[in-house]
Amino acid sequence: MRKYLWIPIGIAVLILAAALVHQKPAPVEVPAPQVALELHLKTSRQDYIRLEPVLATIDVKETSAMPYAVNLSKDQCAGKLDILQVEEGGAVKRVGGDEFCHQDRTNKPQGGFFKRNWRWQWGLARVGKRYWFQNSFPPGQVKLRAVLTLVKPGVQFVSNEVTIDVREPEGVDLQAYKFLTSAEPINLDNETITAATIMDTGLFRSSGSQNAEKAHRYFVAHYPDSIYAEYVRYTMAQYLSQRIAAATEEQRETAVQNYVSMMTEITQRPPGDFPFLPQIYYSLIRHYKLRDDTAKFHELKEEVIRRGIDADEVSGIKRLLQE
C-alpha cells in the first residue's frame, strides 16, 4: 500500500521540480528612456499666397545626458509629430506632421536603422527635418506650433509659436489661382482632364492621379510664370528622376537630359527664397561633377554664391562648394 502511494507522490515531485527548472523568469520591466529636448519650429518664409504650400523645418536639440533611442518591433511606433494651427480661443487643428513607426508598418523606413530580429532603433535625428503642409488658410495671419509626442516615456514637447501671413494672389498668380480653384475641365491633346488634378498633385510631391503628368504639362504651359508653376515643375522633376532609374541603357542619356533640363529651368525662374533651390542646385552641381564638366561645375558654384543660396539647407552642398 505504501509502495502504491509512493509512486504518484514521487511523480508529482518530479513534475514539480521540472516545472521549477523550466519555468520562465518573470519579464523584467525595461525602464523608459529619459529624454529632455528643445523643439523649434520655423517656416521657409513668413509671407505666402493662398494655396502656396508651406514648408516648415523642425529643429530638435537634445539636452539629455544620453541620446534618446528606442527599439521598435513590427507594428510599433516611437511617436508622432503634429504641426498645428492655433485658432482663436486656443483651439488647435492639425495641418501636417508625421508618424514614426517600424518599417513594416508603413513599408518604408521611418527613422533608425535595421537591427536583428526585425527590430529598429529609432532616435530623434529623424524628427529634425522639413515638412510640407497644405496652405488652405484664408487670407490673414495664421499661428502655428509643433508638438512632438513620444510613446516612451509618454511625454510631449511643444515648440515655439510661428505666425505666417497669407494674402490673396495677384497678377499672373491670381489667374493661376482661379484656374486651380475652378471645377472646369481642361482639354489637352483632345482629352478632357479635370482641373482638380493639378490641385491634388501639382502643388505637392506625389503624383497619384493617372492624369497628373498631362495636367502638369498643361498648367506649366499656360501659367509658366506663376509661383505655383515652380512647385509643379519640381513635382515633374521628381518623376523624371524616377525614369532615370527605370530607363534602359539606350534610354538613360535622354532620361538624364530631360531631368537636368527641368531642374535647370527651375533655377532660372523662381525667386531666391523658393524652398527647393538648395536641393536643386546640389543635384545639378553633383551631376556636372560626375560628368567631369568642370566649366559648368564652377559656373553653378559661383551662381549659388551670387544668389545667396543657403548651403546649410542641404547636406553635402558645402563640401561641393569647397572643391
Query: Which domains, ranges and CATH numbers included, belong to the chain?
Result: 37-167 (2.60.40.1930), 171-322 (no CATH)
Q: At what angle do helices 249-268 and 227-246 cross, to 10 degrees?
A: 160
Q: What percent of the chain stands above pLDDT 70?
A: 73
Other Cβ atoms closer than 10 A to 212:
21
Mean pLDDT, the chain, whole residue set: 78
Gap between the Cα atoms of 110 and 191, Å rounded: 39
Q: What is the pLDDT of residue 271?
A: 63
Instruction: Identify the band that residue 168 occupies on the pLDDT scale cut at 50, 70 and 90.
Output: very high
- Provide DSSP, 7-76: HHHHHHHHHHHHHHHHPPPPPP-PPPPP--EEEEEEES-SEEETT--EEEEEEEEE-SSS--EEEE-TT-
CA-only gyration radius of the chain, Å: 28
Q: Per-residue pLDDT tens for 72-108?
A: 887 788 899 999 999 988 899 999 999 988 765 444 4
More confident site: 66 or 165 = 165
Gap between the Cα atoms of 52 and 270, Å rounded: 13
Q: What is the pLDDT of residue 28?
A: 44
Instruction: Identify the band that residue 113 occupies on the pLDDT scale cut at 50, 70 and 90.
Output: very low
Instruction: Confirm if 229 and 220 have CB atoms less than 8 A apart.
Output: yes
Residue 258: C-alpha distances to residues 176, 252, 264, 323 (Å): 25, 10, 10, 27
Q: What is the pLDDT of residue 15?
A: 44
**Among residues 193, 157, 127, 155, which one has the least CA distance to residue 37?**
157
What pTM did the predictor assign?
0.71
Q: Per-residue pLDDT tens for 195-211?
A: 555 555 445 444 556 67
